[in-house]
Structure 1
Amino acid sequence: MTEHYQHRARKRFGQNFLHDAGVIHRILRAIHAREGERLVEIGPGQGALTEGLLGSGAQLDVVELDLDLIPILQGKFGQQANFRLNQGDALKFDFRQLSDAPHSLRVVGNLPYNISTPLIFHLLEHTGLIRDMHFMLQKEVVERLAAEPGGGDWGRLSIMVQYHCRVEHLFNVGPGAFNPPPKVDSAIVRLVPHEVLPHPARDHRLLEKVVREAFNQRRKTLRNTLKGLLDSGAIAAAGVDGSLRPEQLDLAAFVRLADRLAEQTSAG
């Protein structure tokens, strides 16, 4: 006899399960998985997207942290040859164990809001392996990912993601598509790692450092926020006006600042 029981969404995992068939179909169409591809689904929940992804014939690895969901997922999909379940924390998961072929993994996830930003940063460390990523995120996070310089949404997340990836804000999803409904709107985003970086930095770790410092106090001028790393002369030598605020600079300008810091570090 098969057990039927409802798994209740857990607050501590930030779970909101997708149940709207129209939204599910639209996401699957955007992903457009095909036979022979390698897909990774992060946080499959009760398998709303999993079923359609498996139906494409693609090889699917799912990464799920919630132990209570493991038997549900195993019961629903465990018999399918193209399904493999990995119990664990996606923030610590080594995606290299799934594939070593460049640009071979397609990553998908309805991400819990509390881990979305750290998880995206974790995945950026594996961009050489990843062909594309499709995520359901809080709408305001997607707006930050896709932001352009000059506005309040432009910041560390926008810059570091756009350094590595092309960002497409595909469509928005209202709270009613989930159970329980979240208090915010959601959106689907597609991130495609650049084959050739548009603005390669000498050391992307130094770029991260410069961007983090610059936005620590985003209302202050660059001359003030970066004074622990670069003096006014070094900022000017990078072709940047030190009296600007960080949100006024584009990615290329931040890369020039990071390269200046790299020169300074190697000379020192």
Structure 2
Amino acid sequence: MSNKHGHQARKRFGQNFLHDPGVIEKIVRAIHPKPDETIVEIGPGLGALTEELLQANPRLQVVELDRDLIPVLRTKFFNYPDLQIHEADALSFDFRQLMTDGPLRIVGNLPYNISTPLIFHLLEQAGVVRDMHFMLQKEVVQRLAAQAGDNHYGRLGIMAQYFCRVQPLFEVGPGAFRPAPKVASAIVRLVPHEQLPHPTKDLKTLQAVVRTAFNARRKTLRKALASLITVEQLQALGINDGLRPENLTLADYVHIADFLFEHSGENSNEVSDD
């Protein structure tokens, strides 16, 4: 489906362009951008949100993969000479290079097909980020915010909450986009912790433990983590091996990972981060 700028929304980029002025205003209010901040927008599309952000911060930086959109953005915002457009894939982009005046504030209407890997990529760079505001599929926001025992609880939520405070803000219906997606969306705010609530001794070990557990989420821990840790070791850590992966808290996973990291030389089953 094309629009007044003649740009066809591309399925391979997962493009759904935001057009509802009321929703855009609500998002900008939630972000509360200021002129002296380093604000980065991922996937500006046709610039509906960009326009509002530029009015608050004329030095906005945007990262856009679709090269056909870049001339559209340059033309639309020709009167904002300080707007910086980076033609790049956000999944491999080093956001740290943009940090010149204080931490980054990252915003974006994220394409559904890259939202999870992109969030993992950004979490690795959380040290340079003040906050992130994203439009995502509602289900992804539920996964980010889920607590132990919830249906949506899993690897994404655990690792997001390791690095950030997760705050779902509000839902957005399909009609706010062109073309309208088949699912509801929601806005979420991620604020990196100043001090990690449950710091691990080795992040790669924690990531491997969580991945291994949720690759077998329907099994009990004794089976799901059998390649990494014995029943006796789980019990010695005070963890019930009959529980399922979704019943353990972030603190529990850090506890297991730290034990494995400390004993990695003694165990023939080395933890790998495949």
Q: What's the TM-score, normalizing by structure 1?
A: 0.96
Assess, with a 3 A threshold, how the Cα gap between structure 1 residues 252 and 16 changes in structure 2: closer, same or farther.
Answer: same
Matches of 2:131 and 2:58, distance apart in 1: 15
- Does residue 1:81 correspond to 2:81, yes or no? yes
Aligned to 1:198: 197
Aligned to 2:40: 40
Aligned to 2:270: none
Q: Percent identity?
A: 61
Matches of 1:238 and 1:247, distance apart in 2: 18
- Give the RMSD, CA atoms, in angstroms: 1.3
Cα distance, 1:99 vs structure 2: 1.1
Unaligned runs of 5+ in 1: none
Aligned to 2:51: 51
Give the stretch that moved more between structures: 216-225 or 76-85: 76-85
Assess, with a 3 A threshold, how the Cα gap between structure 1 residues 221 and 154 changes in structure 2: closer, same or farther.
Answer: same
Which structure 1 residue ranges, 4+ long, deviate > 3 Å from structure 2?
none
Give the stretch that moved more between structures: 204-213 or 53-62: 53-62
Deviation string 1:58-92 (CA, Å, 9 cap, x unpaired) is: 53110000011010001112431331000010001
Aligned to 1:226: 225
Question: Map of 1:225-264 to 2, 5 A cutoff?
Answer: 225-264=224-263
- Does residue 1:14 correspond to 2:17, yes or no? no
Unaligned runs of 5+ in 2: 268-274
Aligned length: 264
Matches of 1:19 and 1:260, distance apart in 2: 50
Matches of 2:162 and 2:21, distance apart in 1: 34
Give the stretch that moved more between structures: 141-150 or 54-63: 54-63
Q: What's the TM-score, normalizing by structure 2?
A: 0.93
Give the stretch that moved more between structures: 93-102 or 14-23: 93-102
Partner-residue secondary structure (3-state), 1:167: strand
Cα distance, 1:101 vs structure 2: 6.2
Cα distance, 1:5 vs structure 2: 3.7
Assess, with a 3 A threshold, how the Cα gap between structure 1 residues 25 and 5 changes in structure 2: closer, same or farther.
Answer: closer
Aligned to 1:140: 139
Matches of 2:23 and 2:16, distance apart in 1: 14
For 1:126, give the aligned amino acid: Q
Q: Is the 8 A contact 2:58 2:80 kept in 1?
A: no
Matches of 1:58 and 1:78, distance apart in 2: 12
Partner-residue secondary structure (3-state), 1:170: strand
Partner-residue secondary structure (3-state), 1:265: coil
Matches of 1:169 and 1:137, distance apart in 2: 10
Deviation string 1:159-208 (CA, Å, 9 cap, x unpaired) is: 00000000000000000000000000000000000000000000111111
For 2:63, give the aligned amino acid: V
